[in-house]
Amino acid sequence: MKIVVTLLLLFWSSLFFSQLVVAQDVFQVLRDNDVGYAEVKRGVPLIFPQDHFPHPDYRIEWWYMTANLKDQQGQDWGLQWTLFRQSLSPDANLEGWDSDQIWMAHAAVTTPDKHFFAQRFSRGGIDQAGVNQLTGSNGFDAWIDDWRWQSASDTLFPSTLEFNVGEHKVSFELKTQDNWVLNGDDGFSQKSAQGQASYYYSQPNITLKGTIKTQGKTTRLSGNAWLDREWSSQALAQNQKGWDWFSLHLNDGSKLMVYQLRHDAENKLEDDFRSKEGLSTNEFTAESWISGSWIDTTGEVTHLGKDDIKLRSISARQIKTKKSRLITLPLDWSINLPTLNRSLTIKPLYDQQWLATSFPYWEGVVLVTDDMNQSVGNGYMELTGYQLAN
């Protein structure tokens, strides 16, 4: 009896401890509770073009663009451009230097050989960064310093996207004709059993073309882009470590978005043990929150729940992060959609596509193959919340 109690106590205290440990990572801001901020509620319709513009009552918001491109030689390139908004206080001051809004942007360029990224910070209210307010006559403008995504129309497209990452100057024109995709339950995207949710919509059908100039050399590129728009006041539950997200453009014109929010706690010990042993954590627990959207060639959206998606990581490898520290990431995945009879294998274009920013994560170009190993598309994958090896 005593032994059992002791073990339980140990077990329980280690949970407590591990939760504390986990809770200290940089993604904590997403787990902080939403006291005072506006709550994400089910049943609230998303209205456009209003909802393209900022929602300052909510704590966190982003405009997230990824693009899969090919150059004139047929090589794969990728772009990522994200503008994050964060409110530091529930009734935020919007204007002036004492604004409570902070803007952060990440931009990345995946060339056929190497991945480059950059990070920007700015305070809101001073025009250094931001997204304009909808007036009906001034279109859409999202910028930070000299990075800019701008459209004359408040429906966001057609638009131009200009930014630079190191020596690379990126300039693209984006177009779409298609409808917006509301993820989850008409845009109410639940993230955990406890009820955390965000408002989440996407535009997967963007075509773009433009140039990347590097040291005088200009590369012409064209391809598909994907825009994610999301805002909430508490994106993650306390016990959610991070997530894995996929946005795929399939060659037949259909699109797939899948994400998984990984939990820790009960099986943290198990996960730790397995990763220490160098074993991949193959099966994620049933507690992981999995969700997705399938957009077929006609543009019809099918919401996918956890029974519709079998997500499994095939292989984990080590990559370099800041200061030569290493991290083990599950880089090859298999996505099985039984209800749609699709079986896809996801592999990154190359491993080293890590953004060593203040909030570090892996995001990069992936190639999709079917179970016959034929190429069926490409896309982007995002892996967040993984701990460093040491």
The closest alpha carbon to 172, from 163, 160, 185, belongs to: 160
Footprint of another protein (CB under 8 A): 88-89, 93, 96-98, 100, 102, 119-123, 126-128, 143, 145-146, 164, 322
Question: What is the smallest separation between the CB atom of 63 and another protein, expressed in angstroms?
Answer: 18
Q: How far is the CB of 28 from another protein (least distance, A)?
A: 9
Length of the chain: 390
Q: How far is the CB of 32 from another protein (least distance, A)?
A: 12
Taking the least distance from each CB to another protein, the nearer of 42 and 322 is 322
Alpha-carbon gap, residue 328 to 339, rounded angstroms: 32
Contact 271, 283 (CB under 8 A): no
97 or 136, CB closer to another protein? 97
Q: How far is CA 271 from CA 147, 226, 287, in A?
A: 40, 32, 13
With b for 16 or more beta-carbon neighbours within 10 A and e for fewer, the 127-154 pattern comes to: eebbbbebeeeebbbbbbeebbbebeeb
Least distance CB 196 / another protein (angstroms): 22
**Using CA atoms, how far apart are residues 217 and 293, in angstroms rounded to an integer?**
39
Output 97 or 372, the one with its CB closest to another protein. 97
Considering the complex, state which of residue 93 and residue 280 has its C-beta at the smaller distance from another protein. 93
In the complex with another protein, the residue whose CB is nearer, 118 or 314, is 118
To the nearest whole angstrom, how small is the minimum distance from the Cβ of residue 57 to another protein? 18
Question: Residue 286's closest CA among 311, 315, 303?
Answer: 311
Specify the residue, 151 or 202, whose C-beta has the smaller distance to another protein. Answer: 151
Minimum gap (Å) between residue 125 Cβ and another protein: 9
d(CA 152, CA 339): 41
